[in-house]
Chain A
């Protein structure tokens, strides 16, 4: 009885576009859905530091290095905003990290692809961050207050990421034949994985229905993917990149039709068989373990100072 009244109040708030805040009553399924989605989002930001961190020491100029460092630092910051927002749901940071290391929590599969050339830094910023922006702009209107506020903050910072990536690609496309080839190959490596970032077709997405009813998600996977395709194809053509899809065509309504995604590859990478899955988690766990002495030292230092305050 109590529960059904609570559920009614909850749904009425959602329908009236009133955000749900941490201390409000919420269905357990809503809480669990958010913990899963937000922690996955946080992990993606942090794991996403790896393919780009890989190029900081090899960036082609001081300007490029400063930019890349700022971008990777932003990704770490985005991870932290999201972890804090997730913690408002009553789960600890330690638990979230443990689930990541145990493979119980996922992160965006796109970060399981390698970044072998400098052009990959361009393609990641332009395409991967570009796809993330489309998704995150939509999530600014999500129903959970702390998640929505984190998204607003992240979106403000994210557009520099996409622009710096597109600038790298445009610069390479004005360069030598070898540089153009490098850009085209990176584009081909990241085009399909970035389309996969929006997830399965809506009919095949097991958790869509409640997520839409509760306004955790505001737009469907396929709609968001289409928005990204329609923005990106003209950007690619403008700088002379060829779309790696023999069947794509511009429709009369200004939208593009594209081939279907290779869903076998998609599920295979999600299951952990992508080129870099093992390496990404191993590296994260190692960084976490190597930082243990820092956490211990910080705790000991704080305890010592509190002791001094008491005896003073």
Chain B
């Protein structure tokens, strides 16, 4: 490990209000969890942007490989019966 090492990259997720989903806001460098939380507070919530912070080491995140999107997401395209608008409702029916 070089002495100029800035620590691993962490991805930062902030919850804007209680009850809202956590949203990715950016990333930062930190050597451990404690420092990651402190850095995230100072970097991403200086103006009351959040009521909660999640941090995940970037190397721990798994995602669909770029280029594989088609094979992953296309099968949903021909299953329109999963959407409510697919169904014919009798004329005059209400609250459905």
Binding site for B on A (CB under 8 A): 21, 23-25, 73-74, 77, 80-81, 84-85, 87, 93-94, 97, 149-150, 153, 157, 292, 295-296, 298-299, 301-302, 305
Contacts and interface: CB of A to CB of B under 8 A. Distances in A.
B9 A299 contact: no
15 contacts: A74-B46, A77-B43, A80-B28, A84-B9, A84-B26, A84-B28, A84-B29, A87-B27, A93-B6, A94-B4, A292-B3, A292-B4, A295-B3, A298-B35, A299-B1
B70 to A, nearest CB: 11
Considering the complex of A and B, which 7 residue pairs feature the smallest CB-CB distances, nearest first?
Answer: A23-B66, A298-B31, A84-B27, A302-B32, A302-B31, A93-B6, A94-B4
Interface residues of B, number: 24
B21 interface: no
A19 B39 CA distance: 28
B71 interface: no
B5 interface: yes
Nearest to A305: B32
Interface string B1-28: 1111111010000000000000001111
Contact of A157 (B5, B32, B42, B47): B47
A272 to B, nearest CB: 24
A63 B33 CA distance: 35
Q: Which of B4, B7, B27, B47: most chain A CB closer than 10 A?
A: B4
A25 B66 contact: yes
Interface of B: 1-7, 9, 25-29, 31-32, 35, 42-43, 46-47, 63, 65-67
Given A25-B67, A81-B43, A84-B9, 4 more contacts: A84-B26, A149-B26, A153-B26, A295-B6
Contacts of B46: 73-74, 77, 157
A298 B65 contact: no
Contacts of B1: 299
B26 A81 contact: yes
Q: Chain A contact residues: over half helix, strand or loop, or mixed?
A: helix
A299 B5 contact: yes
B29 A93 contact: yes
Contacts of B27: 84, 87
A271 B27 CA distance: 33
Contacts of A87: 9, 27
Contacts of A299: 1, 5, 7, 31
A80 B4 contact: no
Contacts of B63: 23
A24 B7 CA distance: 26
Contacts of A302: 7, 31-32
B2 to A, nearest CB: 7
A53 B35 CA distance: 25
Q: Which of B28, B31, B66, B67: most chain A CB closer than 10 A?
A: B31
A305 B46 CA distance: 29
A38 to B, nearest CB: 13
